[in-house]
A and B are shown apart, each in its own frame.
Chain A
């Protein structure tokens, strides 16, 4: 179809509409749809569910090591295919990087001692993954299979704050609303572009018709005066006095361009990843998540399904394979003694960073591939507050606020239980050297830093503070990093090696996928590896 589309249009002055009309007439409306697909108009092909497998594993023994977003679906499918599955997990919970924090949760980062969460009943916050894009159908597949209810994740809330400091202009160290910045920047940008178009000042061969469409679009998009093409204030940017029963309200004047430019530029540089990230393909609305925390799928649903096949608190220290079988050594949670179990195959979900700490008799190419992937640093902090001041005082229901303070990053608000008593805010989210620096502090000092930085946006923070829980993923045992940081070259060289079994050992996890740093990558890797293993067993 793609080919047809190209050869038909090549070199001909045919417009797209005319072409569709012609092919539609010939092929019927299904023909039109296919052609649109070929042109990328509606191209949403991709994995949406596991392959349909034939045959039965007939008790072939598979040891699944790790219960992350990759290990869980792998174990689930293998169990359903009739394999004899034993699941070994180092931690006291199912989920790996998926970790929902509530009162009573506790953790121990390397070198930092124990921290225990003392938030009141009903508070919850995701320390790892917290949101799922609309096209991650593998994740949704298991939510459907295991009856996990989903809610909205509001990535973008235009009533959130933007705060920038150390910038030129009058807006330095002030907070403004996202809708103000968006309306004003859109307005000014439209104004200058529309005026340039009007004077034919663009170095583009545009027809009279093109120009009119573009100008008209900008007038409506930027809210311009149709007569002189200047940006006029509108209620898009919000009100100084809200409309009420007595008056229609008053709209504030836009910020002067000279003050807004350095501010907005700094926000886009510092938080560009985020701000853009509210509207990109991955981060666009609507995002979703399980109700009550990401662990509803893992530490509740999968855990229940696995039953007594699952061994928690059992860190694996050694994997030894022979031509005939593979033996896994783990430390028993109760006796602290090493235990050996032998199976036909291993499905190993351990992140490459933590896998370097396990003794495995891999072949050289696999060893080299594993060593060549470094992991990234990231730190997230949830802060429990007595009162939902962001809702009560600031009228922010879910979503995020953005700052140019690199140690602070963004602030995120809970998406449920609005106007209830208290709740948890994402109070810090940083990466790289900022994450390293903050993580070098004791837990308490991290929280104090987050409060003093966050107070620039929400001065209420210090008064309403209950306690914080921070997770530096690069200091977490059994994670040793946030996510693998491939380069285009390393991906090309390493991926083919990681994706193939090394003898009887199959790796599984997000690190085998091109859906980088998303749970979906791990789900798809699980399907791929189960498919390889099952095909092999069926053939032998």
Chain B
């Protein structure tokens, strides 16, 4: 089921390109919170946001730009069984990763993460708005206490030593 929706969205995006026409509805965060999204709607909405916002940095293939925009594909924190760190990062950001806590609702954050967790070569479970709400509330007043002990972070993702020389990290045409 996920596959077919995903295929549809990718087809849609490649046919239309990222034109202003589709971006306007995509960018609005007026999600009706009263009616929870179905799994299909979650994927659709999540993909719509990914390909109009996250894509600017993490690229269409989710591989980002080496050493700069960390990959969301394969082995990345996106795939951890416990989505807390993933949710936290998207809500509250870190350095060049902006925060989206004031932009998106719990439903929308859950949708984006659910989409990413089954996109490309990823294979992890859906994220619920309740999980997002819990992380949002747990860290809202103490932003500096991030749930990011290095031990939780997959090898090679966030240790400065492992990162490439920033001067060589640009990948034109990615």
Contacts and interface: CB of A to CB of B under 8 A. Distances in A.
B97 interface: yes
B143 to A, nearest CB: 4
Interface string A105-119: 000101111100000
Contacts, number: 149
A111 B59 contact: yes
A378 to B, nearest CB: 10
A437 B27 contact: yes
Interface stretch (A4-12, A66-74, A366-374, A520-528): A366-374
Contact of A475 (B57, B67, B163): B57
Interface string B130-174: 000000000001111010100000000000110101110111111
A134 B56 CA distance: 36
Contacts of A358: 160, 166
Contact of B53 (A374, A437, A481): A437
A494 to B, nearest CB: 6
Contact of A356 (B53, B56, B95, B146): B95
Nearest to A449: B20
B31 interface: no
A354 B173 CA distance: 22
A111 B166 CA distance: 13
Given A368-B144, A474-B96, A489-B141, A114 B52 contact: no
Interface in A429-484: 432-434, 436-437, 439-441, 449, 452-453, 472, 474-475, 477-478, 480-481
Interface string B18-36: 1010010011000000000
A357 interface: yes
Contacts of A490: 143-144
B65 A357 contact: no
B160 A480 contact: no
A289 to B, nearest CB: 28
Contact of A433 (B53, B96, B97, B141): B53
A113 B173 contact: yes
A440 B68 contact: no
A441 B169 CA distance: 20
B55 interface: yes
B143 A493 contact: yes
A395 B52 CA distance: 37
Contacts of A493: 142-144
B98 A368 contact: no
A477 B166 contact: yes
A331 B165 contact: yes
Interface string B52-82: 1111110100000101110000000000000
B98 to A, nearest CB: 5
B145 to A, nearest CB: 8
Contacts of A113: 172-173
Nearest to A368: B144
A368 B23 CA distance: 36
A434 B173 contact: no
Interface residues of A, number: 55
A90 interface: yes
Interface in A320-374: 331, 352-360, 368-374
A376 B52 CA distance: 17
A317 interface: yes
B143 A489 contact: yes
A137 B52 CA distance: 41
Contacts of B97: 374
Contact of A374 (B52, B98, B160): B98
B10 to A, nearest CB: 15
A372 B147 CA distance: 11
Nearest to B146: A372
B98 A475 contact: no
Contacts of B148: 371
Given A368-B146, A433-B103, A474 B98 contact: yes
Interface centre among A108, A375, A436, A480 (most CB of B within 10 A): A436
Interface in A255-312: none
A472 B69 CA distance: 15
B27 A111 contact: no
Contacts of A112: 172
A108 to B, nearest CB: 6
B20 A407 contact: yes
Nearest to B27: A433
Interface string B79-118: 0000000000000111111110001000000000000000
A114 B172 contact: yes
Nearest to A479: B96
A374 B99 contact: yes
B161 to A, nearest CB: 5
A353 B93 CA distance: 10
B56 A369 contact: no
Contacts of B18: 437, 440-441
B146 A374 contact: no
Nearest to B96: A480
A437 B67 CA distance: 22
15 contacts: A110-B170, A315-B166, A317-B167, A353-B95, A356-B95, A357-B68, A368-B144, A369-B144, A372-B92, A374-B93, A407-B20, A474-B56, A487-B143, A489-B143, A490-B143
Given A353-B95, A369-B144, 14 more contacts: A111-B171, A111-B172, A371-B95, A371-B148, A372-B92, A375-B98, A377-B98, A407-B23, A433-B53, A436-B53, A439-B56, A474-B96, A478-B166, A489-B143
Interface of B: 18, 20, 23, 26-27, 52-57, 59, 65, 67-69, 92-99, 103, 141-144, 146, 148, 160-161, 163, 165-167, 169-174
